A and B are shown apart, each in its own frame.
Chain A
Amino acid sequence: MTAACVFVTLGILVFMLVLGLPLLTPDSLHLIFASEWAPDRGLFGVLPFIYGTLAIVSLSLLFAVPLSLGNAVLIHLLLPPAAAGLLHRLIKMMTGIPTVIYGFVGIFLLVPFIREWFGSGSGMSILSAGLLLALLISPTMILIFVESFAAVPAGHIRALTALGGSLRQRLFYLLLPGARNGIMTGIILGIGRALGDTMIALMVAGNATARPESILDPVRTLTAQIALVMAADFDSIEFKTIFVCGILLYMWAAVLTLTLRFLNHGSVKSGFRGVLS
């Protein structure tokens, strides 16, 4: 039974490779990593979508990491236990919100707001998608941060308090260094979640194929490209490039997963349980 599961997992990669491999000859590689996507002119570069993905993911991290650290500090250090418990429970509940709902509310609330606020474009932009993704990945990151803060030995904290250490010293000299691995784990899980998300990017990032010049420009991500090209003719190069996008996403996800394992010294649980509980 387990063998079946393993077979299926490797099967995904094999399928991707088999279907994408005909494209990975030097000639077509040149074609695929060209800097433009314009099927009507014979240009099938996926580079714009790689840029789009990276832009959205890095912007969402830029918002989400400080936001999550702030909330984790609030729960672990600053709030009285009752309020901290309440916030913790609310954040757990937030992990249950479906992504398509973030996208839906994003279209009808955030996108018009950004359009009005900046007064240009359609509002569908890197900024909109980045903000929503930050909201999507923060709860998971906060839960893992809080868990790893709590794992810092209580004796050290008591010793620091006995020496007259302030809150700031406790945070910067004990909690943050002590929870370094946990913080990295949370951030990597966040990156993985943001990278693999389809619905938010598809719904609010605007799906333009041109390379963006500011965070107010629309972009298309690798995931959205897969979702959008499905309708095309099965034999076209256009259609085959989505397997290249698939392979790229699979490999990035695999690298992140292996990094996680390396960080946690082979103990599988810490990362995973943080997400699940």
Chain B
Amino acid sequence: MTRFYNFMLYLFSGLCGLLLVGSAFTLVGFLLWQGASIMGLKLIFGTLDMSEIIDVIFWQRIVIDGLWPAMVGTFFLVFMALSTALPLGLGAGIYLAEYAGGRTKTFFSIVFDLLAGVPSIVIGLFGFSLTLYLHRYFPGLRPCLLISGLALALLILPYLVRTTQTALEELPDSLRLTAAALGAEKSAVIISVLLPQALPGIFSGIVLAIGRAAEDTAVIMLTGVVASAGIPRSLFDNYEALPFYIYYTASQFSDQYELQQGFGAALVLLVICILLFTGAGLIRKKATLRLLYQHRHP
């Protein structure tokens, strides 16, 4: 009987494993099968030749039928979201790990948990209603790159807070005590002892946040992304982005080549995101190794 039960257990779990791994490989395989043939400079820059591509990179020429504007848009988005959320996230994370205690800490933790749980479309809706509200005071304001960047910052903020907090809290107390015993003030301990030690953990959080900002579609859909805008000329301009390009192509493609471009874009985004996630994992692993090493040779 035991043998029968064990067999059933192996059978069920094995089938689950095959199903999951099979689906993952089918997904990636299908994208590769459909999109690999279009990979190349033509996908990104359209029909331009080499010297024209250099012009494009130096902002001298626009790309008509390539992914370049969408890639630049996504880059701007990530950059804006990160430059807004990073100081806030680091500050809040340090405060929660090193200063806050008791009720204050619990309260702020609950708030960040709530923020982390808010669906991204609701954050997008918030960004949109913020635009509506500001529109009364700044009549020219429409949904734009600035609003999207701020909304995305809100989306990745809890990740940054939490990874900073965790990275600091995982450091051994002996570090804090030794530094304090040597006469360092608390701010000096944090800046020159704790933060450098926590840097790998914080950095892997940043990488994850970049991935989250790059892949999100729901937020930007409500806050100013459009199908064809070219490179945005200012913060108050509409823009294109890779994930929206993929969504838009899926429903609006008019010929086989556009569909193929959609597959190409999906493949590009997939590679970027997987690389970011793997990178974050590697950084974390390296950080752990370093900590282990320090424990062995105090």
B5 is an interface residue with CB less than 8 A from chain A: yes
User: Which residue of A9, A70, A93, A138 is within 8 Å of B111 (Cβ)?
Assistant: A9
Check if B270 sits within 8 Å of A97, measured CB to CB: yes
A residues adjacent to B (C-beta < 8 A): 1-2, 4-6, 8-12, 15-16, 19, 66-71, 73-74, 77-78, 87, 90-105, 107-109, 135, 138, 142, 166-168, 171, 192, 195-199, 202-203, 223, 226-227, 230, 234, 242-243, 246, 249-250, 253-254, 256-258, 260-261, 266, 268-269, 272-273, 276-277
Check if B21 sits within 8 Å of A254, measured CB to CB: no
Give how many B residues have a beta carbon under 8 Å from the other chain's beta carbons.
86
User: Which residue of B9, B112, B218 is within 8 Å of A168 (Cβ)?
Assistant: B9
A-B residue pair count with CB separations less than 8 angstroms: 238
Check if B269 sits within 8 Å of A5, measured CB to CB: no
Check if A167 sits within 8 Å of B250, measured CB to CB: no
B residues adjacent to A (C-beta < 8 A): 2, 5-6, 9-10, 12-17, 19-21, 23-24, 26-27, 30-31, 34, 87-88, 91-92, 95-96, 100, 106, 108-126, 128-130, 132-133, 154, 157, 159, 161-163, 166, 205, 208, 211, 214-215, 217-218, 221-222, 243, 246-247, 250-251, 262-263, 266, 269-270, 273-274, 276-278, 281, 284
With A1-B92, A90-B21, A100-B247 known as contacts, the answer to whether A196 contacts B9 (CB < 8 A) is no
Chain B residues lying within 8 Å of A71, measured Cβ to Cβ, are: 13, 16-17, 20
Chain A residues lying within 8 Å of B24, measured Cβ to Cβ, are: 90, 94
Check if A171 sits within 8 Å of B96, measured CB to CB: no
Query: How far is B21's CA from A100's CA once the two chains are assembled, in angstroms?
Result: 20
Chain B residues lying within 8 Å of A87, measured Cβ to Cβ, are: 17, 21
Question: What is the minimal beta-carbon distance from B14 to any residue of chain A, in angstroms?
Answer: 7
Check if B270 sits within 8 Å of A101, measured CB to CB: yes
Query: How far is B15's CA from A66's CA once the two chains are assembled, in angstroms?
Result: 11
With A196-B120, A254-B114, A257-B117 known as contacts, the answer to whether A5 contacts B126 (CB < 8 A) is no
Check if B113 sits within 8 Å of A261, measured CB to CB: yes
Query: How far is B161's CA from A48's CA once the two chains are assembled, in angstroms?
Result: 37
Summarize A's interface: helix, strand, loop or mixed: helix
Query: How far is B25's CA from A94's CA once the two chains are assembled, in angstroms?
Result: 10
A70-B15, A226-B222 are known; give 18 further A-B pairs, CB within 8 A. A2-B95, A10-B111, A12-B115, A69-B16, A74-B13, A74-B16, A74-B17, A95-B277, A97-B270, A101-B27, A104-B263, A196-B118, A198-B119, A198-B217, A199-B217, A249-B121, A256-B117, A276-B163
With A90-B24, A230-B222, A250-B118 known as contacts, the answer to whether A268 contacts B109 (CB < 8 A) is yes
User: Which residue of B15, B17, B120, B250 is within 8 Å of A198 (Cβ)?
Assistant: B120
Chain A residues lying within 8 Å of B218, measured Cβ to Cβ, are: 198-199, 223, 227
User: Which residue of A8, A107, A253 is within 8 Å of B250 (Cβ)?
Assistant: A107
Check if A5 sits within 8 Å of B112, measured CB to CB: yes
User: Which residue of B106, B118, B162, B222 is within 8 Å of A253 (Cβ)?
Assistant: B118
User: Which residue of A73, A92, A166, A246 is within 8 Å of B125 (Cβ)?
Assistant: A246
Check if A196 sits within 8 Å of B119, measured CB to CB: yes
Check if B13 sits within 8 Å of A98, measured CB to CB: no
